[in-house]
Amino acid sequence: YLELDWRASEQWGMFARQSNWSLQEDLNASQTDVGVNYYYLPEIVFKADYQLQNEDAGNSDGFNLGMGYHF
């Protein structure tokens, strides 16, 4: 698991995440996520990312939206 994050400005950031796992011998699942963060307020962030999975992970490519709140 590796994640890189860069806050380009006060309100915008970008991230990339790589995950690798194996639940069975000879299977090597991996997922790559790339996305952006929008810091609406210092405590609130909106996130959007695109995920790419390999065949061993299920080929569940997709788009995710989320929100975070720091209290």
Q: What are the average pLDDT values for consecutive 10-residue runs of the chain, which has 71 residues?
A: 94 96 87 96 95 86 94 83
Quote the pLDDT of residue 55.
Answer: 83
* Amino acid 69: pLDDT: 96
The predicted-structure confidence for 2-20, as pLDDT tens digits, reads as follows 999 999 999 999 999 999 9
First to last CA, the chain: 26
Whether the model pTM is above 0.95: no
Mean pLDDT (the chain) is: 92
By C-alpha distance, which of 46, 39, 49 is closest to 17? 49
